[in-house]
Structure 1
Amino acid sequence: MSSITFAVQGMSCGGCSGKVKRALEALEGVSATEVVLESGAVTVQYDAPATPESFRETVEDLGFDVVS
Structure 2
Amino acid sequence: MVTTTYQVQGMTCGHCVSAVSAEVGAVTGVSDVQVDLATGRVTVTSESPLDTNAVRAAVDEAGYDLVDE
Q: TM-score, normalised by structure 2?
A: 0.85
Deviation, 1:11, is 0.5
- Superposed, 1:1-68 pairs within 5 Å as 1-48=1-48, 50-67=50-67, 68=69
Q: How many residues align?
A: 68
Q: Unpaired runs of 5+ in structure 2?
A: none
Equivalent residue letter for 1:18 = S
- Which aligned runs of 4 or more in structure 1 are off by greater than 6 angstroms? none
Q: TM-score, normalised by structure 1?
A: 0.86
Q: CA RMSD in A?
A: 1.6
Q: Unpaired runs of 5+ in structure 1?
A: none
CA distance in 1, matches of 2:66, 2:33: 15
User: In the TM superposition, what whole-angstrom CA distance separates every residue of 1:21-60 from its partner, at most 9, and x where no partner exists?
Assistant: 0111122210111001111000001124842321111101
2:3–2:46 CA contact under 8 A, matched in 1: yes
